[in-house]
Amino acid sequence: MITGALLVQALISGLLMGGIYALVALALALSFGVLRVLNFAHGDLLMMAMYGAVVLHRWLGLHPYWAIVVLALPMLALGWLMFVGLIRPVQHAGVLVQAQMTLGVSFVLQSAALMIFGADLLNVRTEMEMAVLRIEGVVVSVPLAIGFAVSLLISGALSWVLLGTDAGRRVRATAQDPDMARLCGVDVERTQRWVFALSVALLAGVAGCLMTFSHVVPTAGLQYSVLALLVVMLGGLGDLKGAFIGGLLIGIAEALAGVFLNSAVGPAVIYVLFGLTLLFRPQGLFGRGMEA
Amino acid sequence: MESNRPWFGRLIAALCSVPLLALAQSREPITIPIITPLSGAGAVLGQDIQKGVALGVEHINAAGGIKSMGGRPLRIEVVDTQGKPEIARVEMERLAVRNNAPMVLGGEISAGTGAAAQFAETYGLPFVNSAAANSDLLHRGYKWYFTEQITNEDEAATWLALLKHLAEKAGGPPPTVAFLYEDSPRGSVSAKLAKKLVESAGFKVVADVSYNRAERNLLTHVAKVQQAKPEVVMWAGYTEDVAAGLKAMQQLNFTPYILGAGGGPGDPRMPELVGAAFIDKVHLSTVDYFAADSERAKRFVVPYTKQYGQVPSSYASIGYRAAFLAKAVLEKSGKLDRAAIRSALQGLNIPGSELISPFKSVQFAPDGHNLGAQNAVTQWQDGRKSTVWPPEIAVKPPAPLRGR
């Protein structure tokens, strides 16, 4: 029987998990909005950061939240190098070439993780892992709640940068019309390079949050890539607000499906939601171009 | 240019080359493939199986190889299926047609095993499964498919026997039961069969909740089970979903007695993933095909632990078992002919004392199932996995159902 408490439980867990999905998708939406290159290795870059959090914990005893700080810079550098070495050369090639390139990176990262870390599930055990808040019979996972807060914080900071700074204006100008931005004196390539590097660095934040309660395996990236693509397309390609709300919607839909449906039908709900959105709003829920 | 070598020189050279060639052939390894997911979502299974295979082959060859074939060493080719039935089918085609494999070993999950068995049947290729537990395949009338592994039906019967035992010992009203399982053929068939048995034995099933293995957050599913207030949860799952589900139970403060099946509940990494105290608290038990603390498993457990620095998982035992099963079949057939190998499989009888598993024997029935397959139930107690069922091989009694 489905009780009110169970429904509220599902809504809250879904919303919190959705916050983390939103952050994964936000990073992808940001890079797509500015570069117009769909990065299929997005989830695998996240997987690498998750392994980074595990390594930092095992070698230095660092809590995953501290790992965010430590990993941000190497991830930024990785994003920078990836843009210069792999993305830039195919940026003006066809969509299929771009897809092949980023899919290739995805396979390479997966294989590298399998070779280095093996297929075992790796996790980080912390005291906070099982911490919960009990409110009127509803259990709120503390790591999920913190993940949600981090997601809000990063999204807010990103919005502020994009709306309230010169750098943000350059990014928005590049996203709206690169040629016009160039004519106005914006160094488009430099902007794109920084945006891509930043979108990869943001994954350090997601990895730190995820590793407080989840685990990592070499194939974890694929799941997150698919999820991020769904969320980004649901919200409207390149639309940051859409990506954030799309993430929350997917999280809630997933949790509610667990309550109302049994068996294999549950995970299909998000694809049904996605299909219906594409059918009635092919541009996505908020697809009006790049907006902060 | 015409050779000026005398004719008798050629004759001597030819005569010498015959025994040399025969000697070379006698030392050439016999290659038998095993299909398993080395990559992809099921890679934990395949990677562990690979380690078990490597140790098994090392032991076999150190003991003189395949004696009925002049001591030729055994080589097992580990073939990656990525855990995908379509890849399993393609690899089977390659092995059967291009490589002319005399037999194929199975270390694959149920879905891939089904695809491979279908292909083996078409090509008349002996396919011996040591991993998948799905019993559906045995009802398809296949002639080239043999399974050494326990089946879902064996598992369900063992679940019920232990449940009855726990209920009898506890006294009072019979415990209420909930089913929680991942929805692949592995988990759903086990749960379906067990539910039927458990209900017919008079136990009340208060919840039946399934989930997809790929789901990241099982809090809602576990909350659904908790709401039904079962005393016992029967749970079939893999490592990642069982770890996620146990964490959800911990957060919900839900501590039923857990009778598990599948690779997850018995995974030796579970204390590291979830915490030893909690898995002790829920008496996490697994219907298993491997009991690492049994006397007969020592010849595998001791060198494995020494080599890899950890106690072997049940998955690793599949690899070791498969290697020795291949050896036994080749010894009996004496040749690499598919029909001869099938006959050897039909006439095989390996006594339990020669096995590392808790099986009574390996002896195949006409439908291909192992007549001697027997489960053990292992239970986490004080941070260690102990065999608690059946009584004849148990090293400890199972924890009581009530009064915990």
A10 and B240 in contact by Cβ < 8 A?
Answer: no
The pLDDT assigned to B9 comes to: 64
Q: Is residue A288 part of a domain?
A: no
Q: How confident is the prediction for chain B on average, in pLDDT? A: 91
User: Smallest CA–CA separation between A167 and chain B, in Å?
Assistant: 36
Q: Hey, is the C-beta of B43 within 8 angstroms of any chain A C-beta?
A: yes
CA distances from A196 to A32, A75, B228 (A): 9, 11, 49
CB A34 within 8 A of CB A191: yes
Query: CA B64, B67, B71, B76: dihedral to nearest 10 degrees?
Result: -80
Joined together, the tokens standing for residue A2 give 């489905």
Label residue B17 by pLDDT band (50, 70, 90). low
B217 and A254 in contact by Cβ < 8 A?
Answer: yes
User: Smallest CA–CA separation between B75 and chain A, in Å?
Assistant: 23
| Continuous segment of H or E residues that includes residue B381 | strand B376-381
pLDDT tens-digit series, residues B78-91: 999 998 999 999 99
Q: Same topology for domains B25-150+294-373 and B153-288+377-389, yes or no?
A: yes
Can you tell me the distance from the alpha carbon of B212 to that of B188, in angstroms, rounded to the nearest whole number?
11
CATH number at A252 reads 1.10.3470
Query: How do B257-261 and B285-288 pair as beta strands?
Result: parallel
User: Smallest CA–CA separation between B148 and chain A, in Å?
Assistant: 25
Q: Is residue A292 part of a domain?
A: no
A121 and B43 in contact by Cβ < 8 A?
Answer: no
Chain B partners within 8 Å of A223 (Cβ): 214, 216
CB A125 within 8 A of CB B272: yes
B41 and A6 in contact by Cβ < 8 A?
Answer: no
Task: Kindly report the pTM of this predicted structure.
Answer: 0.82
Chain A partners within 8 Å of B217 (Cβ): 13, 17, 254-255
Label residue B52 by pLDDT band (50, 70, 90). very high
Residue A118: which of B47, B208, B215 has the nearest Cβ? B47
Structural domain harbouring A77:
4-280
B210 and A10 in contact by Cβ < 8 A?
Answer: no
User: Smallest CA–CA separation between B47 and chain A, in Å?
Assistant: 7
pLDDT tens-digit series, residues B329-379: 999 999 999 999 999 999 999 999 999 999 999 999 999 999 999 889 999
If we measure between CA atoms, which residue out of B266, B9, B288, B280 comes closest to residue B158? B288
Decide which of A33 and B300 is more confident.
Answer: B300
The answer to whether the Cα torsion of B298, B302, B307, B309 is positive or negative is positive
pLDDT tens-digit series, residues B214-251: 777 788 899 999 999 999 999 998 888 999 999 999 99
pLDDT tens-digit series, residues B315-334: 999 999 999 999 999 999 99
Chain B partners within 8 Å of A215 (Cβ): 240, 243, 273
Span A23-31, average pLDDT: 92
Can you tell me the distance from the alpha carbon of B83 to that of A264, in angstroms, rounded to the nearest whole number?
18
Residue A215: which of B41, B219, B243 has the nearest Cβ? B243
Query: Angle at which helices B110-123 and B185-200 pack, to 10 degrees?
Result: 100
The number of domains in chain A is 1
B23 burial via Cβ count (<10 Å: 0-12, 13-18, 19+)? exposed
Q: Hey, is the C-beta of B249 within 8 angstroms of any chain A C-beta?
A: no
Q: Hey, is the C-beta of A56 within 8 angstroms of any chain B C-beta?
A: no
Tokens 């399934």 belong to which residue? Answer: B210
Size of interface A-B (CB pairs under 8 A): 100
pLDDT tens-digit series, residues A86-97: 999 999 898 899
Residues for chain B: how many in total? 404
Q: Is residue A77 part of a domain?
A: yes
The answer to whether the Cα torsion of A24, A27, A32, A35 is positive or negative is negative
User: Smallest CA–CA separation between B209 and chain A, in Å?
Assistant: 6
pLDDT above 70 (res A14): yes
Can you tell me the distance from the alpha carbon of A209 to that of A221, in angstroms, rounded to the nearest whole number?
15
A259 and B250 in contact by Cβ < 8 A?
Answer: no
Reduced to 3 states (helix: H, G, I; strand: E, B; else coil), residue A133 is strand
Joined together, the tokens standing for residue B165 give 């035992």
Residue B43: which of A14, A218, A259 has the nearest Cβ? A218
User: Residue B288: phi, psi to the nearest 5?
Assistant: -130, 160
Reduced to 3 states (helix: H, G, I; strand: E, B; else coil), residue B236 is strand
Q: Which residues pair with A135 in a beta bridge?
A: A138
Q: Tell which CATH classification among 1.20.1530.20, 3.40.50.300, 3.40.50.620, 3.40.50.2300 matches the domain B153-288+377-389.
A: 3.40.50.2300
B247 and A213 in contact by Cβ < 8 A?
Answer: yes
**Angular region, B209: left φ>0, alpha ψ -120 to 50, beta rest:** beta
Residues 6+ apart with CB under 8 A from A94: none
User: Smallest CA–CA separation between B303 and chain A, in Å?
Assistant: 20
Q: Hey, is the C-beta of A174 within 8 angstroms of any chain B C-beta?
A: no
Q: How confident is the prediction for chain A on average, in pLDDT? A: 90
Q: Is the peptide bond before B390 cis (omega within 30 degrees of 0)?
A: yes
The pLDDT assigned to A271 comes to: 84
A125 and B272 in contact by Cβ < 8 A?
Answer: yes
If we measure between CA atoms, which residue out of B197, B228, B225 comes closest to residue B211? B225
User: Smallest CA–CA separation between B203 and chain A, in Å?
Assistant: 20
B223 and A6 in contact by Cβ < 8 A?
Answer: yes
Q: Hey, is the C-beta of B227 within 8 angstroms of any chain A C-beta?
A: yes
Q: Is residue A128 part of a domain?
A: yes
Label residue B393 by pLDDT band (50, 70, 90). confident
For B:133-192, CB contacts with A below 8 A are 183, 188
If we measure between CA atoms, which residue out of B186, B246, B240, B189 comes closest to residue B222? B246
pLDDT tens-digit series, residues B249-293: 999 999 999 999 887 888 888 888 898 999 999 999 999 999 998
Query: CA A39, A44, A50, A52: dihedral to nearest 10 degrees?
Result: -100
pLDDT tens-digit series, residues A228-267: 998 888 887 767 888 899 999 999 988 888 888 765 666 7
User: Quick one: closest CA in A to B37, which residue?
Assistant: A119
Q: Is residue A24 part of a domain?
A: yes
Q: Hey, is the C-beta of A264 within 8 angstroms of any chain B C-beta?
A: yes
| CATH (residue range B25-150+294-373) | 3.40.50.2300
A13 and B219 in contact by Cβ < 8 A?
Answer: yes
Q: Is residue A127 part of a domain?
A: yes
- The residues spanned by each domain of chain B are 25-150+294-373, 153-288+377-389
Q: Is residue A291 part of a domain?
A: no
